[in-house]
Structure formats: C-alpha cells, structure tokens
Structure 1
C-alpha cells in the first residue's frame, strides 16, 4: 500500500514538473549585475536559459541552502548525542567490569565455603 502511495506521489511530482517545463519554455536572460554596473566595468556576465530551468535551479538552490542551514543548526544536537553515546559506552564497560568482579568474588566465596565445610 505504501509503495503505491509513494509511486503515485512521485508520478504526480513528475507530471507537475513536466507541465511547468512545457508552460515555461521561453528563454530568459539572467544577468549577474545590473546594466549600469556592467557597462561601467565593461563586463556583462549573463546567460540565456529556458524559464523552467531557472525555476528548477532556484528551487534546487533553495533546498540545498535549507539543508545546509539545518545541518549547521543541528550540530549541537549531534555533538550532544555523540557525547552521550561515549558516556553510555563507558558506563557499560564499568558495569561489565563490576559484574565480572562480583562473579569472581562470588566464586571465591563458594570455594572458601566448601573448604570450611569439609575442614
């Protein structure tokens, strides 16, 4: 059931992207600088692309910036989780050592108890 929903979702997304591409096929010019600045510097970095490419690049850039921002924001949470994982591992090792020491002490007491009974 979930696979069907997932496939249907991606089919709808693909259909929407195709429709956006078909509706925005005209070429647009993207300029890195306003015309007065580019005339002053003598450099005019511009490129002509179909509008749907500009839209998809804008959405993709927005997603990448958002993911990066969230990754930076969660740094403190990830660091805290690593610190707690190290602490849990240290405590687990301590518990194993104490259990081993208690088991050895218990076995030593049993041997001494048997020797006292026979002696």
Structure 2
C-alpha cells in the first residue's frame, strides 16, 4: 500500500511539473471586465504565470467544494450528535436500572428471582406448606 501511495505521489509530481513547464507564459488575471477598473480606481489585475493560475483555480475549486460539502452535511452531523447523546443517556439509564434491580429488596421478588437450582427454604408453619401446591 505504501508503494502504491508513493508511486501515485511521484506520478502526480511529474504531471504537475510537466504542466508548469509547458505553461510558463505570463498572463494577466483581471478581477473585473476591461475598462471597469477606471470606475473603481486602482489596478485590479495581476500578471502571473499560466501554470500558477491553473493551480490556484484548482485549489480554490477544491476549497469551495470542501466548504460546500461541509455545509451540506451539517444537518447529518447534528442529527448524529443528537442521537449519540440520546444513546449515552439511555445507556446510563439502563445501567442505573440494572444496579437498582440487581438485588431486589422485596422478599417476593427475591423468591421469584432466585435460581431454580437453589433449594427452597422450609416454611416455618407446616400447615401453610400443606395448602401450597406441589412444586413442579
């Protein structure tokens, strides 16, 4: 993987150097149409090599696309953040409920939650034992 990445970077560098060498001529880059700068005052143009204009246009296009996507996906990130906090709140609630119900305080719940393999305690009153149905 490292070799593929390195070879891609080298290939990209060669292509960029070739574009730069082929487009060394100076061009005038104007911010406004011809003769419009006389109304604004000052000089609103600059002379740059053509390859620099190409690279700057590419970089500004990439930056504009990055900002556009960041703003377009803002609602998705907001919803994910809201759901994440909701999941954390529910996990805390479940943890609290597990801690609270791990050892029941009620004797009836303790009897119901007792494992099936544990022996039943002998009733204190033998008459009460006779009235209960036989265990299965």
RCO higher in 1 or 2 (8 Å CA, sep ≥ 6)? Answer: 1
Equivalent runs, 1:100-115 vs 2, <5 Å: 100-105=99-104, 109=110
Tell me by how many angstroms 1:34 deviates. 1.8
Contact 1:32 1:46 (8 Å CA) reproduced: yes
Structure 1 residues 29-62: Cα deviation after superposition (integer angstroms, max 9, x where no partner): 1111222212344432111111110000000000
Residue equivalent to 1:50: 49
Which consecutive aligned stretches of 4+ in structure 1 deviate over 2 angstroms post-superposition?
Answer: 39-44, 116-119
Residue equivalent to 1:4: 3
Residue equivalent to 1:23: 22
Residue equivalent to 1:92: 91
Q: How many residues align?
A: 115
Moved more, 22-31 or 64-73: 22-31
Q: Is 1:67–2:72 an aligned residue pair?
A: no
Q: Is 1:32–2:27 an aligned residue pair?
A: no
TM-score (norm 1): 0.85
- Looking at structure 2, the residues matched to 14 and 4 of structure 1 have their Cα atoms a distance apart, in angstroms, of 15
- Provide the secondary structure at the position in 2 that maps to 1:13: helix
Q: Larger Cα Rg: Structure 1 or Structure 2?
A: 2
- Looking at structure 2, the residues matched to 98 and 44 of structure 1 have their Cα atoms a distance apart, in angstroms, of 72
Structure 2's unaligned 5+ residue stretches are 115-120, 125-136
- Looking at structure 2, the residues matched to 91 and 42 of structure 1 have their Cα atoms a distance apart, in angstroms, of 64
Q: Which has the higher helix share?
A: 1
